[in-house]
Amino acid sequence: VRFARFFNNSPLAIATLGRDGTVLSSNARFASLLPAGAGPALRLPALIAQADQPKVEAALAEALSGRSEILPVDAALTLDGQRSARVIFVPAEASQNGEGEAVLAYFIETTEEKKLQEQFFQSMKMNAIGQLAGGVAHDFNNHLQAILGFADLLIGNYRATDPRHQDVMQIKYSANRAKAL
């Protein structure tokens, strides 16, 4: 009774799998990961998005071979395409006739973690773009300052009646407009 309460109230989704990857038993948390209408002979890879199925199948094969140190696998779930989980496989003790539970599968839902990670990456990209834009604006302003300084020097060399004076004034006017921009 105590173990059943622990098993069913675990925050981890837990399932026992047969040698063919069929789910033999699971807790309530695991049931929440199942797509609507999932039948009793559900194979675990049916829960995994197609792109992630090969790495889940490979980890499951390692567990079936009895290997104990299997790296967790991050995979998208097929439930709605928006959820993801980290799957950990552990070989179960083999029965005498080779039937029954072969692998224990633990699922840790990582959907919120993935969303936060994506938000963080988006924030980092926006920060980098902001720094780039600020640097470009600073460099552009430095060049405009040089243009304005040389224009001021040239204005002193020409009288207001000289046609070149008007050209220098136009340079200064355009540089000031660019600076305001």
Q: Identify each DSSP E strand in 82-148 by its residue range.
A: 84-91, 103-109
Please tell me the predicted confidence (pLDDT) of residue 99.
66
pLDDT digits (tens, 9 = 90+) for 116-157: 988 999 999 999 999 999 999 899 989 999 998 998 888 888
Please tell me the predicted confidence (pLDDT) of residue 98.
58
- C-alpha to C-alpha distance for 104 and 44, rounded to whole angstroms: 11
Please tell me the predicted confidence (pLDDT) of residue 79.
66
Instruction: Supply the mean pLDDT for the chain.
Output: 85
pLDDT at 36 over 70: no
Question: Which residues on adjacent β-strands are paired with residue 103?
Answer: 17, 91
What sign has the CA pseudo-torsion 44, 46, 51, 57?
A: positive
- C-alpha to C-alpha distance for 35 and 15, rounded to whole angstroms: 15
Structure tokens at 153: 């020097």
- C-alpha to C-alpha distance for 136 and 134, rounded to whole angstroms: 5
- C-alpha to C-alpha distance for 42 and 99, rounded to whole angstroms: 17
- Secondary structure of residue 101 in the 3-state scheme: coil
Rounded (5°) CA angle 19-55-57: 15
Indicate the residue type of 70. Answer: I
- C-alpha to C-alpha distance for 28 and 178, rounded to whole angstroms: 65
DSSP conformation class of 135:
H
- C-alpha to C-alpha distance for 97 and 63, rounded to whole angstroms: 18
